[in-house]
Amino acid sequence: MRRSHKLRPRPLGPLTILRADSKPPDPSQRAVPFWSVFAQSRIPMAVVDREGRYIQINDAGIQVFQYSRADALGRRIGRTAIEDPALAKAQWQQLLETNELYGERIVRHANGTLVRVSYAAHATSVGDRWLALFVALSARFQPGGPELIGPVRAASPRGVGSKLTRRESEVLRLVALGSDTRHVAAELCISSETVRTHVRNAMKKTGARTRAQLVALVLADGLIEE
């Protein structure tokens, strides 16, 4: 029998920092409107405030990059990135102005190795706060290392997004949880090509250019309900 470990949330201002294996807070006090997907996903995700500081990081993000949660929370995003500071500043300004950002960057893993990360960010309002959800769909040790973000089978969703069909919502929730095309097809008893079609249709509807951006957008905008 699997034990359930109840962890105490760590307060940080008006938000609440929770481990993925803890119970979600009261709905009126949730830091993010997509708690279950954020917490359960095998895709690294983080929530960042307008000052560029980490508010929440899911367990997948901790497991992939191996920095401790205590060391990361409250610190500024990008401190492990190997890039031109001027470029990083320009990218952050773009996110503030357009509420979206996507691309690649080289970051330093906790073990000192460089990692190439494909990511996307989408900003939204939670209460009276501006928050950005960062999603990484690929992370590889350089040069030419293996993919660090692995797929996982996931349970089917219950909700439907306002801009998406029911099937598109089902497909995207599984993608957001970390399932690859083959696993999504098996879970929903559809073909891999049908999965890809639903993803392409959802990208057209939302304007997303990459899967990472699509995941960030549909979660941050609440297009996939709990």
Domain extents in the chain = 11-141, 166-220
Identify each DSSP E strand in 89-222 by its residue range.
100-108, 114-126, 129-141
pLDDT of residue 96 exceeding 50: yes
Average pLDDT over residues 58-65: 92
Residue 46's pLDDT is: 93
**What's the CATH fold of domain 166-220?**
Arc Repressor Mutant, subunit A (1.10.10)
Q: Considering the domain 11-141 in this protein, what is its CATH number?
A: 3.30.450.20
Cα separation, 199 vs 75, whole angstroms: 34
Cα separation, 47 vs 177, whole angstroms: 16
Q: Quick check: 101 and 133 in contact, CB under 8 A?
A: no
pTM: 0.68
pLDDT digits (tens, 9 = 90+) for 39-51: 888 889 999 999 9
Cα separation, 104 vs 86, whole angstroms: 16
Tell me the β-bridge partners of 123.
132
